[in-house]
Amino acid sequence: MNRRKGKNTFWIMMMTLMLIITAGFLVVFIVRIISLGAPVLSWKFIVEPPREAMTEGGIFPALIGTFLLTALAMIFALPSGIFTAIWLTHYGKPQWLVNILHIIINTMAGIPSIIFGLFGMAIFVNLLGFKVSLLSGSLTLAILALPVIINNTEQAIHSVPADFSEASLALGATTRQTISKVVFPAALPNILTGAIISVGRVAGETAPIMFTAATFYSRSLPHSLQDEVMALPYHIYALMTEGTHPESQVPIAYGTALVLLILVILIDATAIIIRSYMRKKRQW
């Protein structure tokens, strides 16, 4: 009996230790980014363009670039993602076609982001001639976000009880009316949560935009879809690997990382809060 108790204590201590080590790593990581990023942050850092070959100034063009890339990617991906989920949940016939589409979506979800970058370069930049531009980059990001949006929307629609649509159909509503007036509104908070989470993902991606949209340095903001853009994640990478003044570039990289970190965490936290609020409020 004592040996069993000893073993039990040992294992529980081991698990606790694992959690403490994990938490330790992550605390060092976060504290490091915050403590070196915070001194650089200022209002000027946010609203000014970079100066003196990236050794001074702010990150305004990168911030705008990330915003535009993400917003456009969502404009492309959300409608087709949501409609795909609607087809899968309400029209999907025959069953084998649904199964194949599920396999396709899961395969896409597992593809490394650098491959999306190569694909975007081969198809959008070279084949279709969109060049390295805002348009190529946001289309690439849209395809990357598509499987996440479809999966989340499908789950959200499934979480609406079947009674809802059955009641609506029994009252004589058509499938379209049932989806757009009953199922979709009920699933909307969860669909939104999923969409917000994919915004956070897309905003932080670097590899897909390296060859499709991002540029190391541009003083002006993009004027059209055909322009190259700066982006926060690529800016961090470029500051660390290009340029000749590491002593002034590293602090700017930390500052940029902190801005990106705050942005992504704010976005994700919004989603988590909406979700837990909706779970409490939900009547079914």
Partner 1 sequence: MKGIKEKTFQAIAYIASLLTAVCLIAIIYGIFHDGLPLFKFISWKDFLFTNNWYPVYSPPGFGAWALIMGSFYVTLGALIIALPLSLGSAIFISEIASPGLREIAKPVIELLAGIPSVVYGLFGIAFLAPLIRQWFSLDTGLNLFTSSLILGIMVIPIICSISEDAMSSVPHSIREASLALGATKSETIFKAVIPAAKKGIIGSILLGFGRAIGETMVVLMVAGGAAQIPKSIFEPVRPMTSTIAAEMGETIMGDLHYNALFALAIVLLIITFFSNLITEIVFRPKRQK
Task: Please report how close the Cβ of residue 24 comes to partner 1 at its closest, in angstroms.
Answer: 10
Task: Please report how close the Cβ of residue 175 comes to partner 1 at its closest, in angstroms.
Answer: 7
Please, which residue, 46 or 115, has the CB nearer to partner 1?
Answer: 115
Please, which residue, 2 or 224, has the CB nearer to partner 1?
Answer: 2
Task: Please report how close the Cβ of residue 193 comes to partner 1 at its closest, in angstroms.
Answer: 12
Task: Please report how close the Cβ of residue 144 comes to partner 1 at its closest, in angstroms.
Answer: 10
**CA triple 212-270-239, angle to 5 deg:** 35
How large is the angle between the packed helices 60-86 and 184-204, nearest 10 degrees?
A: 140
Task: Please report how close the Cβ of residue 146 comes to partner 1 at its closest, in angstroms.
Answer: 6
Please, which residue, 93 or 223, has the CB nearer to partner 1?
Answer: 93
Please, which residue, 73 or 88, has the CB nearer to partner 1?
Answer: 88
Please, which residue, 15 or 223, has the CB nearer to partner 1?
Answer: 15
Please, which residue, 188 or 223, has the CB nearer to partner 1?
Answer: 188
Task: Please report how close the Cβ of residue 56 comes to partner 1 at its closest, in angstroms.
Answer: 19
> Do the Cβ atoms of 139 and 127 come closer than 8 Å?
no
Please, which residue, 39 or 112, has the CB nearer to partner 1?
Answer: 112
Tell me the two tokens of residue 75. Answer: 């404009």
Task: Please report how close the Cβ of residue 74 comes to partner 1 at its closest, in angstroms.
Answer: 15
